[in-house]
Structure 1
């Protein structure tokens, strides 16, 4: 093999190596971007369900133990249950995409929502504060993971 042939072979080899490396890096970057987007979408859905649950629990507390409109109270109780179910579903998704620290913060938020849901009306303001604190901890952990903090 002469010098020209070696140069052509070397150029072809380097070109092929560049294609392989570029393909691998692009796939990795795409996978990371997809995972980050899925985590963000899941966090938003979980936090929206959390706010719906808290708002419904607050409104239900405002109606009091003997509401003038029992149907409104029943609708709010149903909204709390529906939001809790959505929280559970999104927590499952969150645990697939997030680190253990974020997953643990999500579980803590779900537990606080369960305690809020099951609390007597008189205890709901304190439980709402506990939910709010758990929500802040989840947001803080997620921001660290997404490197937006």
Structure 2
């Protein structure tokens, strides 16, 4: 093999290695990007359910112990119940994509919502505050995972 042939072989080898490395890096970057997007979507879904539940519980509390519209009180309680199921589903997805720290914060939020769901009317304000604190904790942990903090 002459010098020209070695140069061509070396150039072809370097070019092939470059393609392999680029493909591996691109695949890794795409996987990371997809994972971040899935985590973000799951967090948004979970937080939306959390706020819907809190809003319904707050409205139910404002109706008082003897609501003028009992059907409205029942609808609000049903919303709390339905969104609790949505929270559980979102938490399952969250635990697939997030770190242990985010998963634990998500579980804490779900527990706070269960306590809110099961609270007596006079206890709702304290339970709402606990849910709010758990939600802030989840958001803070998620920001670290998403590297936006």
Mark yes or no: TM-score above 0.5: yes
Report matched runs for 1:126-141 at 5 Å: 126-141=126-141
Q: Is residue 2:124 matched to residue 1:124?
A: yes
Q: Is residue 2:13 matched to residue 1:13?
A: yes
Aligned counterparts of 1:117 and 1:86: Cα–Cα separation in 2: 13
Aligned counterparts of 1:116 and 1:77: Cα–Cα separation in 2: 11
Aligned counterparts of 1:102 and 1:3: Cα–Cα separation in 2: 58
Aligned counterparts of 1:87 and 1:97: Cα–Cα separation in 2: 15
Cα RMSD of the aligned pairs, angstroms, is 0.6
Shift of 1:64: 1.5
Corresponding position of 1:96: 96
Aligned length: 149
Shift of 1:94: 0.3
Shift of 1:145: 1.0
Aligned counterparts of 2:31 and 2:82: Cα–Cα separation in 1: 32
Corresponding position of 2:33: 33
Aligned counterparts of 1:82 and 1:118: Cα–Cα separation in 2: 13
Q: Is residue 2:92 matched to residue 1:61?
A: no
Shift of 1:61: 0.8
Aligned counterparts of 2:71 and 2:121: Cα–Cα separation in 1: 17
Query: Which runs of at least 4 in structure 1 moved beyond 4 Å after TM superposition?
Result: none
TM-score (norm 2): 0.99
Comparing 44-53 with 60-69, greater Cα deviation is found at 60-69
For structure 2, the 5+ residue unaligned runs are none
